[in-house]
Amino acid sequence: MKVLITGGVRSGKSSFAEKLATSFGEKVVYVATATAGDEEMRERIAKHQSRRPPNWTTVEEPVNLRDVLLTARGDAVLVDCLTLWVTNLLLKEEDVVGKAYEVVEIFPKITVPLIFVTNEVGSGIVPDNPLARKFRDVAGLVNQVFAKYCDEVYLTVAGIPVKIKGVS
Amino acid sequence: MKVLITGGVRSGKSSFAEKLATSFGEKVVYVATATAGDEEMRERIAKHQSRRPPNWTTVEEPVNLRDVLLTARGDAVLVDCLTLWVTNLLLKEEDVVGKAYEVVEIFPKITVPLIFVTNEVGSGIVPDNPLARKFRDVAGLVNQVFAKYCDEVYLTVAGIPVKIKGVS
Amino acid sequence: MKVLITGGVRSGKSSFAEKLATSFGEKVVYVATATAGDEEMRERIAKHQSRRPPNWTTVEEPVNLRDVLLTARGDAVLVDCLTLWVTNLLLKEEDVVGKAYEVVEIFPKITVPLIFVTNEVGSGIVPDNPLARKFRDVAGLVNQVFAKYCDEVYLTVAGIPVKIKGVS
């Protein structure tokens, strides 16, 4: 079972992902793609961590998602979030969509349930900044790649998970 | 019956909310959280008003939603919108999410149908401005609080209300 | 059959629209509202074109959609996209919503299937720039006009078309 959860900021993506992960068992591997680069991000990470059950394992991996997923052991693996992973790869000038395909192509080898959190970033005004436009484009394409290879996809709106792919 | 209607700008939220309010009866109390602070907002408010039936009662209340809802009498109460209420509270440096809980906790005492209009503001690019980021976060959390305690939630897209919570 | 497909940037709108157009037959008229005004747009257009079957006919029409639709012959007509059409009309200071009504009022005369692609642009933070705010408003209103007169409306999210209007 591979699940993608997408939605706007503060739409309840992470809470729903954590609830879903817990439904698979107690031993959840939480893969954090955030790096505590600045004060605001540090606070956000700390808030997220304080909400997670103490028996979860946290792996911090900003870039190499593929290897982390291949080696993770537990009842479920939760990756939060793909959008920061995209940001980290863009900063390293990687071929991000290519990297996304390298991750989804290992899906058949993975038997532990995988849950990915990502963001909707393309429903506002076109940004002035060309880098922001590129980021929107790449983030959107990566969401499409993961959605295509996941069994279930949810869009969260105001805390409500709306299933948009998978048997209901 | 408590209903939350969320959606992007010009997605048909207010029109749908007004139609829904009318379905409960003629005597609708319209709670406007906007203040006519500038020319653009004044025009927007005037346009909204001209669309409302003349026998509706309008209450202007930018901040104290709880008391307005406790005392309102009519066939339905329509609050338009929560996002401006969030803005007004942030400007006064209030604990906005706390205030949201103070509103939803009176829901069981209220028998008149309540309809809340709010905005999706978190599906664009991360804003540069820290205040805008804070606003997005708080607006999203407030939407979650109201959605949790409302019986029905709709997402409007291109004028179409999509029910995302409640029996269909 | 008239279909509107809306969604954020890189949410899979155009791919889905092209698949849908192909389902009606081989002779598709592709109406491009983009003008190759700058390098970035030129690249985007070239990428889009390379994806289209070679037997499709391309019509470039940034403004006069009504006449193009009245005269187009084929198995289906695909307009990509309304948001650029709105931009082009705003630059000419036209009454854009009025122009939208002039297009939908010819729908009953048109028997060839019409597919329109458009964008969700109103789910981010309120832009500082008054022109950007006006654009959001007009783009949203135009989406409402087309959605009202189309038989089917889809919202694409992460490459997944979610039907929000029409028999499912």
CB-based contact, A121 to chain B, within 8 Å: yes
What 8-state DSSP symbol labels residue A108?
G
Phi-psi region of A3 (alpha: psi -120 to 50; beta: other; left: phi over 0): beta
Three-class secondary structure of residue B28 per DSSP = strand
In this structure, of B32-46, B113-127, B152-166, the range with the lowest mean pLDDT score is B32-46
Q: What is the pLDDT of residue C46?
A: 77
3-state helix, strand, coil in chain B (%, to 5): 45, 20, 35
The verdict on a CB contact (< 8 Å) between A124 and B126 is no
Q: How close C109 comes to chain A (CA, Å)? A: 33
Identity (one letter) of the amino acid at A150? C
Which residues pair with residue C32 across a beta bridge? C60, C80
The verdict on a CB contact (< 8 Å) between B10 and C122 is yes
For chain B, how big is the Rg over CA atoms in Å?
15
The verdict on a CB contact (< 8 Å) between C9 and A137 is yes
Measured between beta carbons, the chain A residues lying within 8 angstroms of B3 are: none
For chain A, how big is the Rg over CA atoms in Å?
15
Q: What is the pLDDT of residue C167?
A: 77
In chain A, what percentage of residues exceed pLDDT 70?
A: 98
Residue A1 CA from chain centroid, whole number: 15
Q: Is the Cβ–Cβ distance between A18 and A51 less than 8 Å? A: yes
Q: Which two tokens stand for residue C98?
A: 């009025």
Q: What is the pLDDT of residue A97?
A: 98
d(CA B56, CA B79) in angstroms, rounded, equals 13
CB-based contact, C44 to chain A, within 8 Å: no
What 8-state DSSP symbol labels residue A92?
T
In this predicted model, what pLDDT tens digit does every residue of C116-152 receive, in sequence order? 999 999 999 999 899 999 999 999 999 999 999 999 9
Q: Does the annotation place B25 within a ligand binding site?
A: no
**Confidence band of B52 (pLDDT split at 50, 70, 90):** confident
pLDDT along chain C (168 residues), means of 10: 97 97 96 80 74 86 96 96 96 95 98 97 92 95 98 98 90
Q: Is the Cβ–Cβ distance between B121 and B18 less than 8 Å? A: no
Measured between beta carbons, the chain A residues lying within 8 angstroms of B153 are: 157-158, 160
CB-based contact, B143 to chain A, within 8 Å: yes
The verdict on a CB contact (< 8 Å) between A146 and C158 is yes
Q: What is the pLDDT of residue A168?
A: 64
Measured between beta carbons, the chain A residues lying within 8 angstroms of B120 are: 8, 123, 157
Q: Give, to the nearest 10 degrees, the angle between helix A82-91 and helix A130-149.
A: 130
Mutation site, A144, A153, A155, interface C, largest C CB count within 10 A: A144
- Block residue for tokens 């000038």: A93
Residue A54's CATH number: 3.40.50.300
Helices (H) and strands (E) in chain A, counts: 6, 7
Total number of domains in chain B: 1
d(CA C33, CA C125) in angstroms, rounded, equals 27
d(CA A96, CA A112) in angstroms, rounded, equals 24
In this predicted model, what pLDDT tens digit does every residue of A10-64 receive, in sequence order? 999 999 999 999 999 999 999 999 877 767 777 777 777 777 788 899 999 999 9
Give ∠ CA A15-B63-C129 in degrees, rounded to 5.
Answer: 75
Q: Does the annotation place C33 within a ligand binding site?
A: yes
pLDDT exceeds cutoff 90 at B48: no
The verdict on a CB contact (< 8 Å) between B121 and C120 is no
pLDDT exceeds cutoff 70 at A68: yes
In this predicted model, what pLDDT tens digit does every residue of B74-126 receive, in sequence order? 999 999 999 999 999 999 999 999 999 999 999 999 999 999 999 999 999 99
What 8-state DSSP symbol labels residue C126?
P
A34: phi then psi, degrees, rounded to nearest 5: -75, 150
The total of other beta-carbon atoms located within 10 Å of residue B145's CB is 21
CB-based contact, B163 to chain A, within 8 Å: no
Strands C28-32 and C76-80: parallel
Q: Which two tokens stand for residue A106?
A: 């290992």
B138 tagged catalytic: no
| Average pLDDT of chain B to the nearest whole number | 93
CB-based contact, B157 to chain C, within 8 Å: yes
**Among candidates C63, C59, C72, which has minimal Cα distance to C109?**
C72
Domain of residue C9: give its range. Answer: 2-165
Q: Which residue of chain C comes nearest to B162, CA vs CA?
A: C164
d(CA C139, CA C136) in angstroms, rounded, equals 5
